[in-house]
A and B are shown apart, each in its own frame.
Chain A
Amino acid sequence: MKNYLTTRNLSLSFGDKKILKDISFDVQKGEFVTLLGPSGCGKSTLLRCIAGLEQPQEGILELDGEEIQNRPTRERDIGFVFQHYALFPTMTVFENVAFGLKARKLEKGTINQRVFRLLDLVQLTEFADTNVQRLSGGQKQRVALARALATEPKILLLDEPLSALDAKIRKQLQKDLRHIQKELNMTMIFVTHDQEEAMLISDRVFVLEAGEIVQASSPFELYTSPENPFVAEFIGNNVSFDWEELNEYTSVFSGMGNRHLYYVRPELIATRETKGAFRIPVKLQSVSTLGNIRRYRFETNRGKEILVDRLNDWHDIPETHFLYIDPEDVIVVDVQRVVNE
């Protein structure tokens, strides 16, 4: 598949502080990519660099076969959706969506048709002549999305567009966004710090840490095969062991040495003996209900906390117990990169 957006060795510093360090990645046409990472990792800055709202000191940006790093924002043909909507407050919904089209001097009929097609897509047709300040947060973000799509950009960048919305509207918009992206076959790069959101809507997730992409994988690979301790600990819950600790319970990993960290996902830890599994003596400390799952917090005799997740119908946990881990479920991560740093 042909690369649609390519970044090569993108670097940006503010003063002495390096915000983006040598970032290179490719995005294919029609792909939904999410930049995921904690606050301050550079994900929004990276998005702004692609849009031309920040100017990287080094690097190449290619979109649809053309270098764009030296073009001003308005000539890049890139749509952008802001976290706090950035709607023009003195305009109506229609005027907001039509604003970019009017600047392109399209015919009035074409503008009307395109705006209403998009308002229909984001289900806001009846609000066309409403001032945007009278809309709810979810509606405002739909207008922002329609406005960004109106100019038919080559790629759409979304900077934490759902983070200011409440949970219910957010979930609905996540679905809508993915639906719209597929319907228009639009290439989208989405920024979020919410891993669940990233996993839910993306084709691929790029995890950023301190201005670097530390892993770029599908959501499934990211969860099951993290490539470094940061990703393993950032994505989902887990129980981590160092080499010496694990050797107390099993000899399977004895040949690997302490260059590695070992992670187990809470839902893969068994409470009944299974073939080939090693066991860890534990004592139940507490139970909490997290909607469809219950989370059991155990402690080993050395005081190590082990979390176990089970569906809500699992009630037969005795107070003292053994937990069983299949060595195949242990994620082994090389810590060399961390040691070097």
Chain B
Amino acid sequence: MKKFLVTLTLSLFAIYYLSPLLATFFYASSTSWEKSILPDDFTLQWFVQLLGDRAFLGAVGRSLLLATLMTMIVFIVLVPTMIWIHLYFPRWDQALQKIVLLPYAIPGVILVTALLRTYSKSNIPMFFVLLGALFISMLPIVYLGISNQMKLVNMKELVEAAETLGVPMFPIIRSVLIPNLKVGTTLVSLMVFSSVFGEYMLTNLLIGGRFETLRIYMLRRMNENGHVASAVMILYFLFLLVTAFSIFYFNKKQTKKIVVREKMEEPVYEKLLNHS
């Protein structure tokens, strides 16, 4: 009975989550769907049309550029800073945990208005202003994600243990920090990438049509053709799915490499054991 209830609840959740996606897929695959409860016929023409549209491919490229750049900036600037704070200035952590939540407290329109008033007359290109704004908006995801992972593995103590063994900082980063933060950084990178890839409000209000990303393209096409907009949504979803699987696959492969290395060293242990 208990198992049945669990299965039922999970099934209901699955239906709740998957039904909009399935409906979007069917709408994107239908010739027209207006007169009855079922579509008139099925077709892949909207997908074909989309993949042949240079504006679509350009929008994908721009979104990809923005998401990749932002993920890189986060990993080059934010993650090392956070590790530094966690290890050497732990008292700042409590204050920072509150500060990083500010982007949630400031409505997007106010943020954009303030940014436009500040930077529109300056020589700074709006693309860089957008990157800065996105960076700030990613703070809660990155800070809380990495900070929790560091607390989970007790990173401070691991680094201290390595220091007492006389290990210099670079090997500590390579052999202690990176492997132990892998899960957290993978999830954070995925969240940053997908959030920026699908970001609409800041990009649209700050740059708009001058830098048409996938979401801006989708909303423009929605007014013209709902089927095409649905096809964009499905491709967008599939792209993120493939990205997520690729990151997880890459991580798993790295872990396997470590295991294989351990196994390769096994005969050395045995040789020594037999020798002694």
Contact = CB atoms under 8 A, between A and B. Distances in A.
Interface residues of B, number: 28
A63 B262 CA distance: 38
Contact of B266 (A74, A86, A120, A129): A129
B160 interface: yes
B6 interface: no
Contact of A78 (B154, B157, B164): B164
The majority secondary structure among interface residues of chain B is helix
Contact of A74 (B158, B168, B265, B272): B168
Interface string B115-140: 00000000000000000000000000
Interface stretch (A98-106, A205-213, A223-231): A98-106
Interface string B160-201: 111111111001000110011000000000000000000000
B268 interface: yes
B165 A88 contact: no
B76 interface: no
Contacts of B276: 116, 120
A103 B171 contact: yes
B273 interface: yes
Interface stretch (A89-97, A169-177, A190-198, A265-273): A89-97
A51 B269 contact: no
A112 B168 contact: no
B153 interface: yes
B164 A148 contact: yes
Contacts of B273: 116, 125
B38 interface: no
B247 interface: no
B222 interface: no
A135 interface: no
Contact of A100 (B157, B160, B166): B166
A112 B164 contact: no
A125 B161 CA distance: 22
A84 B154 contact: yes
Interface in A64-101: 72-75, 77-80, 82, 84, 86-92, 94-95, 99-100
Given A72-B163, A88-B162, A103-B166, 17 more contacts: A73-B160, A74-B163, A74-B164, A82-B161, A86-B157, A88-B179, A90-B258, A99-B162, A99-B175, A102-B171, A103-B167, A103-B171, A116-B269, A129-B263, A147-B161, A150-B165, A151-B165
Interface of A: 51-53, 72-75, 77-80, 82, 84, 86-92, 94-95, 99-100, 102-104, 112-113, 116, 120, 125, 128-129, 147-148, 150-151
20 contacts: A73-B160, A74-B165, A74-B168, A80-B160, A86-B158, A87-B161, A88-B158, A88-B180, A90-B179, A99-B165, A100-B165, A100-B166, A103-B165, A112-B268, A112-B269, A116-B272, A129-B262, A129-B269, A147-B161, A148-B164
